[in-house]
Amino acid sequence: MNYTFPKDFIWGTATSAHQIEGNNTNSDWWEWEQSKKYFSQSSGVVSEREFPLEASGIACDSYNRYEEDFDLCVDLNNNAVRISIEWARIEPTQGNFDEKEILHYKKVLKAAKVRGLKTFVTLHHFTNPIWFSKIGGWTNVNAPSYFAKYAKKCAEEFYDLIDVFLTINEPQVYVYMSYFHGIWPPNKVSAVLSLWVQINLARANNRAYDDIKGSPSKKRVAPIIGIVKNIVWHEVSKSSKNPLDHVVAKFLNFIGSGFFFLLVKNKFDVIGLNYYFTNRIKNLKTKNPDDVTNDLGWWIYPKGLENVLLSLKKYGVDIFVTENGLADDKDEKRESFIRDMLESCVKAIDKGVNLKGYFHWSLLDNYEWHHGFWPCFGLVRVDRKTLKRSKRPSFKYYSEICKTGELKL
Ligand code: BGC
């Protein structure tokens, strides 16, 4: 059976600035990465074996190679691209916007536009300027207004080059990794701060939403603004005999999704959904099957995407899958992964979900945060020595779907 996606369906790939640009030297992540010792093959210096496993360094050098990257998007028959703008570059010191970097991003966005790519642009993707982290980062009560100032500046400068503004990427993942689990900078482990930072990130989204809406509206139609949520679906294990597992799954689904939507009220025109995995609950613990996993051990469960999409229907706004992908260096599972995930999208559309687009994570192998470069999420392989891009076999598969809008099941 074949399914044809709507003609105006958005097809793209997603990346983020710190993960691909390279030399993001004014950011808190860069500072943190430099504070570690790493294993060096030439000198034999042993790393402290703590996170991050590697520094981002030149990453994929996309700061300079963005045209080549967008050419790959064209080869993929994409009609859109999701990238992010780096706050630490735009506002390297508090209140001072860097005209050179603004010009740079104008060039980047124009390069996407001339290739016929709609631009979905994230303003915050996990990294912060160093000045911001020095004054308490997201624990600072004024953080939302600092962020909103930067967001407003972006709206003023890039209003005609951005199709969809995405304020903050995965606020709750950021909180979990940086303030609960403490793996990412600023490496805090605190339930109280975790709650506070979630509130602050929601406030930041809400402030930025108003400021972006307010500023460029005189110049053109009101911009479209969205929030990007990672949602891990929780469901009860098939072999569970514990009735409390249902309560736990419901509770976790609320904490990881509904709760944050309460905080951002109606301050989003669209929802960006990042879906990677589902967790099954058994005896109050996560117990996932290990039948199909990616290189990071994440359980691959496409039906979970349909479940999450259906859970978002109630918000009554357009939804884009802004990230969905897998670490699969050998490219053995990517093709079936894409097919099965898109089948879930089709089912959700058939059930009335306003799903308008799909962005695969990722275009390129990139800096996978504390793991360094070893997990390979790219449709395109990036050689770590030469940075040469080469298409994985699944590239062709995805490009055919994007070209025809047809999914062969
Ligand atoms: C993030 C990406 C990350 C991807 C794979 C998402 O949570 O937005 O930055 O690379 O997952 O782990």
The pLDDT assigned to 215 comes to 73
- Maximum distance among all alpha carbons in the chain? 61
The pair of structure tokens assigned to 362 is 């990722």
The pLDDT assigned to 302 comes to 98
Give me the torsion for CA of 311, 12, 171, 282, rounded to 10°: 50
Instruction: With beta carbons less than 8 A apart as the criterion, state whether 362 and 60 touch.
Output: no
pLDDT in tens, 5-30: 999 999 999 999 999 999 999 999 99
Look at residue 245 and tell me whether its pLDDT is greater than 80: yes
Question: Distance (Å, rounded) from C-alpha 72 to C-alpha 83?
Answer: 14
DSSP 370: G
Q: Return the bridge partners of 282, or none.
A: 285
Give me the torsion for CA of 106, 111, 113, 117, rounded to 10°: -130
Question: Ligand 1 centre and the CA of 237: distance in Å?
Answer: 26
pLDDT in tens, 351-390: 999 999 999 999 999 999 999 999 999 999 999 999 999 9
> Taking all residues of the chain, what is their mean pLDDT, rounded to a whole number?
95
Question: Ligand 1 centre and the CA of 175: distance in Å?
Answer: 14
Which residues are identified as catalytic?
A: 323
Domain assignments of the chain as residue spans, ordered by start = 2-408
Q: Is the CB of 173 under 6 A from ligand 1?
A: yes
φ, ψ of residue 330 to 5 degrees: the values are -80, -5
Stretch 131-139: mean pLDDT: 98
The pLDDT assigned to 362 comes to 98
Protein residue whose Cα sits closest to atom 10 of ligand 1: 368
Which of 369, 370, 373, 379 gets mutated to test ligand 1 (max ligand atoms within 8 A of its CB)?
369
Stretch 285-310: mean pLDDT: 96
Stretch 278-293: mean pLDDT: 95
The whole-model pTM stands at 0.96
Question: Ligand 1 centre and the CA of 364: distance in Å?
Answer: 12
Q: Is the CB of 361 under 6 A from ligand 1?
A: yes
Instruction: With beta carbons less than 8 A apart as the criterion, state whether 356 and 9 touch.
Output: yes
Q: Is the CB of 101 under 6 A from ligand 1?
A: no
Look at residue 349 and tell me whether its pLDDT is greater than 60: yes
Q: Which residue type occupies 257?
A: S
For 124, 311, 392, the CA distances from 316, given in Å and listed in that order, are: 25, 11, 37
Q: Which atom of ligand 1 is nearest to the CA of 276?
A: 11
Which of 125, 175, 323, 366 gets mutated to test ligand 1 (max ligand atoms within 8 A of its CB)?
323
For 49, 157, 204, 283, the CA distances from 45, given in Å and listed in that order, are: 11, 45, 42, 44
Share of the chain above pLDDT 90, in %: 92
Q: Is the CB of 169 under 6 A from ligand 1?
A: yes
Q: Is the CB of 328 under 6 A from ligand 1?
A: no
The pLDDT assigned to 1 comes to 82
Q: Is the CB of 16 under 6 A from ligand 1?
A: yes
For residue 39, what pLDDT band results from cuts at 50, 70 and 90?
Answer: low
Q: Is the CB of 274 under 6 A from ligand 1?
A: yes
Helix (H) or strand (E) holding 319: strand 318-323
Q: Which atom of ligand 1 is nearest to the CA of 170?
A: 8
Span 2-408: which CATH code? 3.20.20.80
The pLDDT assigned to 284 comes to 97
Stretch 140-147: mean pLDDT: 98
Look at residue 36 and tell me whether its pLDDT is greater than 80: no
The pLDDT assigned to 228 comes to 98
Look at residue 262 and tell me whether its pLDDT is greater than 70: yes
pLDDT in tens, 181-210: 999 999 999 999 999 999 999 999 999 999
The pair of structure tokens assigned to 220 is 């053109």
Question: Distance (Å, rounded) from C-alpha 160 to C-alpha 223?
Answer: 9
Look at residue 37 and tell me whether its pLDDT is greater than 80: no
Question: Ligand 1 centre and the CA of 374: distance in Å?
Answer: 14
For 80, 96, 103, 121, the CA distances from 158, given in Å and listed in that order, are: 16, 17, 10, 10
Question: Ligand 1 centre and the CA of 217: distance in Å?
Answer: 32
Q: Which residue type occupies 164?
A: V
The pLDDT assigned to 402 comes to 98
For residue 43, what pLDDT band results from cuts at 50, 70 and 90?
Answer: low
Question: Ligand 1 centre and the CA of 43: distance in Å?
Answer: 32
Q: Which atom of ligand 1 is nearest to the CA of 377?
A: 5
Question: Distance (Å, rounded) from C-alpha 383 to C-alpha 362?
Answer: 15
